[in-house]
């Protein structure tokens, strides 16, 4: 089945107000730039966004925060976004923080059909409030629930018309697990090759997990912080 779609706006056509979204990437690396811009331009609101981070003020999810389109963030690191900080401190956005490994495993569990799992991370902290704990071999563990989404928006390096995806370096973080955990997965890629153009041994996300694929354009690939020193 050819899953190619002409534009980012067409790809997000079915995303409505109140949707739960997973947005791939690590910092600003490997984020679905074109799909985020389309969400901003469409004006869809009351979104729950599941992401490693909240972008920065004028890039990534920060663009959606600027427009007041995000109702809740489920994330792990949000320290680079002044808009997010203001919204959180003023009680204008709901925030659920997760340890980074826990967030990744909650997403992976959803994709694998595992409803919950036990981890020692967070035991005895605010993270554990209201959650079930059990003791295994003398160690206390915290039960975490799998994390699903209505839509997973991911960014890959290359893909083919059937939705098989290859990620590159750090951009693989979170994109690969999120691609398995959305009811609908939309992938934007830098290049779409013909069928057979991807080495099957190099495919990270099989096309069975992907419903739509589009070729992105004008990638900025920004860096959150760049620190230099004199020679």
**What secondary structure, in 3-state letters, does the chain show?**
CCCECCCHHHHCCCCCCCCEEEECCECCECCCHHHHHHHHHHCCCCEEEECCECCECCECCHHHHHCCCEEEEEECECCCCHHHHHHHHCCCCEEEECCHHHHHHHHHHHHHCCCEEEECCCCCCHHHCCCCEEEECCEEEEEEECCCEEEEEEEEEEECCCCCEECCHHHHCCHHHHHHHEEEEEEEEEEECCCCCCCHHHCCECHHHCCEEEECCCCCCCCCCCCCCCC
Position 28 scores a pLDDT of 86
pLDDT at res. 93? 94
CATH-assigned architecture of domain 8-112+147-215: 3-Layer(aba) Sandwich (3.40)
Consecutive 10-residue averages of pLDDT for the chain (231 residues)? 96 97 92 97 97 88 94 88 89 94 97 98 94 97 98 98 96 94 97 96 97 92 73 65
């Amino acid at each position: 089945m050819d899953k190619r779609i002409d534009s980012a706006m067409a790809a997000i056509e079915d995303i409505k107000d109140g949707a739960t979204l997973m947005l791939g990437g690590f910092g600003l690396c490997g984020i679905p730039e074109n799909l985020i811009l389309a969400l901003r331009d469409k004006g869809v609101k009351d979104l729950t966004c599941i992401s490693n981070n909240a972008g920065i003020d004028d890039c990534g999810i920060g663009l959606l925060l600027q427009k007041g389109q995000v109702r809740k963030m489920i994330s792990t690191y949000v320290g680079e976004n002044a808009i997010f900080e203001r919204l959180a401190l003023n009680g204008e956005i709901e925030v659920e923080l997760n340890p980074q490994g826990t967030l990744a495993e909650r997403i992976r569990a959803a994709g694998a059909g595992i409803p919950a799992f036990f981890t020692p991370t967070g035991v005895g902290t605010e993270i554990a409030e209201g959650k079930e704990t059990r003791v295994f071999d003398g160690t206390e563990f915290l039960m975490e629930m799998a994390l699903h989404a209505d839509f997973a928006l991911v960014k890959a390096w290359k893909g083919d018309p059937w939705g098989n995806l290859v990620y590159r370096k750090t951009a693989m973080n979170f994109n690969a697990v999120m691609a398995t955990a959305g009811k609908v997965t939309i992938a934007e890629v830098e290049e779409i090759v013909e069928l057979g153009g991807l080495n099957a041994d190099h495919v990270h996300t099989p096309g069975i997990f992907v419903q739509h694929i589009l070729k992105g354009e004008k990638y900025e690939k920004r860096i959150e912080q760049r620190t230099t020193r004199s020679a």
